Amino acid sequence: MAGEYNYVFDEIAAVKEACGEAHLKVILETGELSTLDNVRKASDIAMYAGADFIKTSTGKVQPAATLPVTLVMLEAIRDFYYKEGKMIGMKPAGGIATAKLAIQYLVVLNETLGEAWMNPNYFRFGASSLANDLLMQIVKQTTGVYQSGDYFSKD
């Protein structure tokens, strides 16, 4: 945000070089970026510097993942793909706690990038509380009754 874009690019590129064949996931900490324009700029810098995956946040800074931020990042990935021909992964993290909200993210993903990104090689949720909600939904489907959240791990 201080305008040192080349410095950030060079740092990411150096980490990518150090990764060798390993995939590089760059966490943008979008809650600190203030505007959607900054999120777009950070996404572009990360991808052009060599990121294989971009992630909204650690989940520790609020706001973490939001649908508008995720859409901006997915559009950046789409535009990068059209220009460079390389598929980049995306991981929204923090605040996606229910299956109903996760479905909204999947709809945005599918409508923006299409079916090719609808797999864990290119899209993952970073939300441990989402796993608990999914388990409760499975129990509801099997038994007809919701389980208490107390029956599932909190971490």
* 152: alpha, beta or left? (left if phi > 0; alpha if psi -120 to 50): beta
Q: Domain map of the chain by residue range?
A: 5-127
- At 74-92, the pLDDT tens digits run 999 999 999 999 999 999 9
* DSSP annotation string for 135-155: HHHHHHHHHSSPPPGGGS---
CATH topology for 5-127?
TIM Barrel (3.20.20)
pTM check: above 0.85: yes
The arithmetic mean of pLDDT across residues 50-54, rounded, is 97
